[in-house]
């Protein structure tokens, strides 16, 4: 098992997955990690739908792919590489995103992270499910399994949730396709901390974060 910080810095979107089955006990461990997360008031309104049925996955993939064709694909073609990336890396990311789109239904297991909503969802709602999602991504990484946080099905929310068979009052927040990775894990690419952290006043750099201040450590 890799150590915690190796997992934190190396939990990348693993979009190329083998179709080989994943043992149920590993999925159980991932779900246990998810259900250990922080959640508002400890109400535990989360529900996790594990999907192995290929026909259901194919039905959802139709909407996932439509969102790629109509929205995400064109956006990738016209946007600049994000901080910590490069044109070549961004191009590879686009290829991987397209690969997952085309093979979405082949991931052996999906975990659909849902909330049983008491009232209409607000900006706060996701805060009670995304910690569980992140715990599950980290647990998958710890077990050597690949996974990706995906939300694109929500561009066609009603159609996707009908295909998922969700009852009224239950909203999906993410689909995690999980499987054994084809490639290797590696560090995530992100921009420098000193450009995104401020001290005391918005926009003021925190000197402690600049690379020079770490000299000699």
Give residues in contact with ligand FMN (CB under 6 A).
Answer: 12-13, 15, 93, 97, 100, 148-152, 188-189
84 vs 186: CA distance, rounded Å: 14
Q: Which is nearer to ligand FMN, 188 or 199 (CB)?
A: 188
Smallest distance from ligand FMN to CB 3, Å? 19
Between the alpha carbon of residue 138 and those of residues 14, 39, 173, 193, the distances in Å are 12, 17, 17, 21
Q: Which is nearer to ligand FMN, 13 or 170 (CB)?
A: 13
- Nearest residue to ligand FMN, by Cβ distance, number only: 152
Cα-based angle 107, 184, 148 (whole degrees, multiple of 5): 40
Smallest distance from ligand FMN to CB 100, Å? 5
Smallest distance from ligand FMN to CB 95, Å? 11
Q: Which is nearer to ligand FMN, 125 or 150 (CB)?
A: 150
Smallest distance from ligand FMN to CB 24, Å? 25
Nearest to 65 by CA among 152, 189, 145: 152
Nearest to 137 by CA among 126, 147, 127: 147
Q: Which is nearer to ligand FMN, 38 or 199 (CB)?
A: 38
Q: Which is nearer to ligand FMN, 63 or 152 (CB)?
A: 152
164 vs 151: CA distance, rounded Å: 14
Smallest distance from ligand FMN to CB 124, Å? 16
Look at the alpha carbons of 196, 202, 208, 211 in this order and tell me if their dihedral is positive or negative.
positive
């Amino acid at each position: 098992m890799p150590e915690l910080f190796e997992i934190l810095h190396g939990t990348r979107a693993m979009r190329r997955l083998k179709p080989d089955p994943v043992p149920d006990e590993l999925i159980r461990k991932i779900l246990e990690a998810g259900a250990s997360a922080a959640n508002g008031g400890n109400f535990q309104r989360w529900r996790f739908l594990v999907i192995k049925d290929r026909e259901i996955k194919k039905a959802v993939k139709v909407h996932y792919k439509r969102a790629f064709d109509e929205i995400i694909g064109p956006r990738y073609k016209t946007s600049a590489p994000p901080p910590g990336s490069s044109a070549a890396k961004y191009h590879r990311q686009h290829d991987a995103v397209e690969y997952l789109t085309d093979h979405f239904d082949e991931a052996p297991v999906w975990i659909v992270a849902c909330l049983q909503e008491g009232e209409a969802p607000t900006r706060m709602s996701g805060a009670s499910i995304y910690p569980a999602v992140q715990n599950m991504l980290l647990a998958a990484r710890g077990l050597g399994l690949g996974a990706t946080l995906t939300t694109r099905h929500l561009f066609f929310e009603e159609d996707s949730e009908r295909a998922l068979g969700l009852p009224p009052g239950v909203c999906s927040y993410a689909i995690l396709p999980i499987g054994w990775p084809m490639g290797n894990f590696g560090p995530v690419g992100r921009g420098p901390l000193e450009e995104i952290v401020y001290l005391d006043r918005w926009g003021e750099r925190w000197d402690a974060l600049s690379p020079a201040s770490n000299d000699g450590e």
